[in-house]
Amino acid sequence: MELVTFTVEITIAAAAAEALPHAFDGSAHQWWVDVLASALSGLVHLPIAIFFVWLFHRFRLNRWLVVTALLATLLSVIVTGILDLFVGKIYSVAQQLLVAVGLNRFGYMLMPNLLVCLVGAIVFAWWFKHRPRVDEDEISQ
């Protein structure tokens, strides 16, 4: 949860850096601020996606990197949604503060957020697949 809190604070700081001078007139904020805030909020999904990449690697289900990364990204979005719904409001503080500075999370969230998560999952899937693997038989001997 500390990573989530840290990511929310970075997202808010990045969004507020440009949007605060124009927070309440609504006309002068730029599109790249929305994209940056969305990309930084993609870091919320990344630890869960990395966990699923590791799980696929552990059970040797990582033959195709892109498929592994896509499944990990999809599962991370589902798990984050379930956590947000039942455990705690992950996005509630970020949503309130982004609205206060003039940004709407639901207006920009989808593509940059998922792209950051997908690229991170691809990088970790590639790393897991190409690092030297220690065979359990060699360890026992």
- Pick the residue with more confidence: 102 or 19? 102
Quick: pLDDT tens for 52-111.
999 999 998 888 999 999 999 999 989 888 887 887 776 666 667 767 776 665 555 578
| C-alpha distances in Å from residue 141, one per residue of 58, 68, 133, 134 | 21, 32, 16, 12
Give the phi and the psi of residue 110 in degrees, each rounded to 5: -60, -65
**Cβ–Cβ under 8 Å, residues 124 and 53:** yes
